[in-house]
Chains A and B, each alone.
Chain A
């Protein structure tokens, strides 16, 4: 979240789209209820289904799954066409006025620079026009046809209410009513928040779904404001912590881009990731990248990392290809992986196209499962009737199961959606022989290190040289790890403005990331977490709910990254002179000499307003990007593309251009295109989703949860049920090109048919919590149905839209 849970109560309008907060985040949803009860806030829900969130909304509109960009692009068109934007904000704080390279184009559904053979873009033509000093050229009148504002206006002119209706199926009157409600927040004293979750990410256009909303919030002037922002409601407990800590291969901790084969030397690697300012006077905070990276290397390799050896840069793995979840299982499927350590992850249940995952796991020599529960993955080799119809005799994979404790059976931290890191205390001992994850990994590491020491092997140095300063080597404690992640001074750290002033003495915990250095004098395992454990102690264990302004800014509760800041970009909550846009919801303000208020300013504290230091400090231009010239692989402006399995023959925006049917930059593996179904055989849209009664694949093991939602079901409209002769409670078979399942049918008014591109479309809703182990009735893994294809940027699988057929079982 750019803002935080409690801050939702400050909103005037709450939009829930691409998520179902009441269902998936019932506790956080209390802040929506609070905003409605105490602020007279209105709640709007846009979803393919009338959800539990919709049940308590003021207005609900249906939408075809997979068409969110069309809807949101239509909102942008409405705001621009009706001049409902926050002009001062847009002019000052976004790149609306920036001039884009004249060779940029968008033709027949493709942006300039497309390479069809590689299914990827060269972004060379998407860049800013630069002046002699290397600064971006701007046109403050926003009239230059090459400026972002004009490009955006032209791009979304096609997204008329008629076109929105044609693509999304949302009734035009409903769409326009929502546009009006959203547009009311373009004024400084009204703010909208948007809460989304996996309903936006799990699409082949997932990242662009979210970007479209970010653009709307920027046009309305709602970013950085109390009650505003773009708010990702994270799911899995501590999934926020996992992404921050970067327990995946694409990035290093703290979202530092991981080195690739192209980054031969440390210098090359750092130079590529250390941006030059694109506008005068801007903070360009990412210029500190070398400090963050060097401190990370010192945390990892300790004394072994020296200036002379490039702080052990050579020891870092260099990516030669993609290693996301889909890429990993693709490799496994091709027989290119021998072993797999699967910790806190149940991929047989949660990765797409179960048959492929089954086949992939069967090609492993060994599989290690570290989990508190008896997961489906750990028993992928075992025959469970129709639910796991494998032939165990043909599977040679050796499976090791290491029972771990669960979160309540160990100390540690959780990072919630609000980016607040909170210490938690062990509530009970784990059962039987279970060990905490850190004890398991600590024990494994010590054994492996001994083997490397004894036998050498390929590249033993990174293992032998890894800093392992824990009191008990096989049991790194949560406190030791938290202190290491937060960071400490290895030598005295002096104030850059005054060398005689020591900010942190050697051995002391650092106060924050401003103290990190690139000369090896500091160590921090994750720069954005720096300051969570200072010389004063463990800030994540703080539980002071004091909220002096009543806006929910409890700065003494836990520690929020970065720098305990609760609302990101909060400089944008003020006008250019440093005065809050809305005094009743002030976050920070310029008091004549410095920035301050009820939050940690997201701005240099002494940056005078007339210096025009802009609020989006991580961007080298200092402003937010309506047009993204970098970092996005599938285009600088969001465009509607159909899901990879679509009921339509063509993209209504580009009916004569088949290359623009689906996201042209989404990665497709050989064989997976053939595994995609056609509407002629699989005419209905399907979507998988959560139920409030269960948590992922965990709580099916709990009797109480099983009582409240005991058995697998799917949901269809009354109309489709009539067409198919299905009654409520019947057992039905749902088939996709990849597999099938049988479940009870719930026939409901909450799902309705929509007319899309002149054709009636139906939705089959598929809740996913069942499996072949647990206290509920055994059920099918719903990912027997889903396609093995992901978002062009994040590779998050397209779980939310695919095609199926349905019949009475």
Chain B
């Protein structure tokens, strides 16, 4: 699926330098929650464009369906009923990959080339390289990637990188009937968000703001929130997302250490082999094992 390798700026578990000849423009999707009616047309467009179908689920007492992201549902609406100063608000958040500038999934991924980041900022999974370890799930501060029960590979929103590559907006943006979803250069999206935030402030949402969390280097999917001071009100959107320190420890310290340890063990084994020759199992040990297996 990989398109033009010139546009790849990062590749998981790869130390060879990425091509630098071409500079891409950073793109972003802006989700204006104040204009979203939760119609789920984006969910349907996503399933149609990517030719995926979740199972027909059940009603569990909420409007959320499918109830959660899965390998076939790359975006879902999350509905939250919130009472604030005696007035009810129905906060509806379209959840899916945030396409972090500093992607925890890519950092955590041990499979070379299973996760790439393009120069436009899109983070994409290349399932043919995925080994199904699930480290991307641990590495994601937004709890987005899902492992397929069928093929044990990880899936998530690709921001329709195939559409974007040919100058189209993502399928969800294209279909959004109210225009709550916007797509363009990251700069243009921030400018648009400024207008929207000013409008929301004029309607009494004093804490309206843009969600573009710096802890992950900013994101290529951003939200206009009526209550930017409380992202957690929106179905648990993290206040200050950061890549789990374990990913840093694994990559920064543990990984070289582990590799060193493994190398040392290998070397030691080699020396052991050279000096002592192959290990042999004594007849007594073999019999003991057989007896144990029978009993």
Contact = CB atoms under 8 A, between A and B. Distances in A.
A29 B65 contact: no
B128 interface: no
A250 B36 CA distance: 41
B65 A53 contact: no
A745 interface: yes
A704 B57 CA distance: 11
A22 interface: yes
Interface stretch (B84-92, B142-150, B231-239, B260-268): B84-92
Contacts of B40: 692-693, 708-709
A81 interface: no
Interface in B24-65: 34-41, 43-44, 47-48, 53-63, 65
A317 B43 CA distance: 51
A746 B61 CA distance: 4
Contacts of B22: none
B199 interface: yes
A33 B53 CA distance: 30
B60 A710 contact: no
A55 B59 contact: no
B90 A50 contact: yes
Interface stretch (A233-241, A408-416, A747-755): A747-755
Contact count band on A: 35 or more
A706 B56 contact: yes
A707 interface: yes
Contacts, number: 123
Contacts of B177: 26-27, 29-30
A33 B35 contact: yes
Contacts of A713: 59, 61
B43 A708 contact: yes
Nearest to B82: A749
Contact count band on B: 35 or more
A538 B63 CA distance: 44
A777 B180 contact: no
Contacts of A727: 61
Nearest to A745: B61
A491 interface: no
Interface string A57-98: 010100000000000000000000000000000000000000
B201 to A, nearest CB: 12
Chain A CB count within 10 A is highest, among B55, B63, B65, B203, for B63
Contacts of A36: 35, 199
A37 interface: yes
Contacts of B44: 704-705, 708
Nearest to A25: B177
Given A58-B203, A703-B56, A50 B88 contact: yes
B83 interface: yes
A777 B39 CA distance: 20
B285 interface: no
Nearest to B195: A37
Contact of B88 (A711, A730, A746, A749): A749
A706 B56 CA distance: 6
A523 B67 CA distance: 58
A724 interface: no
B61 A728 contact: yes
Contacts of A37: 35, 196, 199
Contacts of B58: 710-711, 744, 777
A594 interface: no
Nearest to A727: B61
Interface in A33-61: 33-34, 36-37, 40, 42, 50, 52-56, 58, 60
Given A33-B180, A707-B66, A22 B37 contact: yes
Nearest to A749: B81
Contacts of B203: 42, 58
Contacts of A710: 56-59, 65
B190 to A, nearest CB: 17
A56 B56 contact: no
Contacts of A29: 37, 177-178
A446 to B, nearest CB: 41
Interface in B86-106: 87-90, 92
Contacts of A27: 177
A469 interface: no
Given A27-B177, A29-B177, A33-B178, A704 B92 contact: no
Nearest to A776: B56
B195 to A, nearest CB: 8
B95 to A, nearest CB: 14
Contacts of A55: 37-38, 89-90, 92
Nearest to A744: B59
Chain A CB count within 10 A is highest, among B39, B60, B199, for B39
Interface of A: 22-23, 26-27, 29-30, 33-34, 36-37, 40, 42, 50, 52-56, 58, 60, 692-693, 703-713, 727-730, 744-750, 775-777
20 contacts: A23-B39, A26-B178, A29-B178, A50-B90, A52-B37, A52-B38, A55-B38, A693-B40, A703-B56, A704-B53, A707-B47, A707-B55, A707-B57, A709-B59, A710-B58, A711-B58, A713-B59, A744-B61, A747-B61, A749-B88
Interface of B: 34-41, 43-44, 47-48, 53-63, 65-66, 81, 83, 87-90, 92, 177-180, 196, 199, 202-203
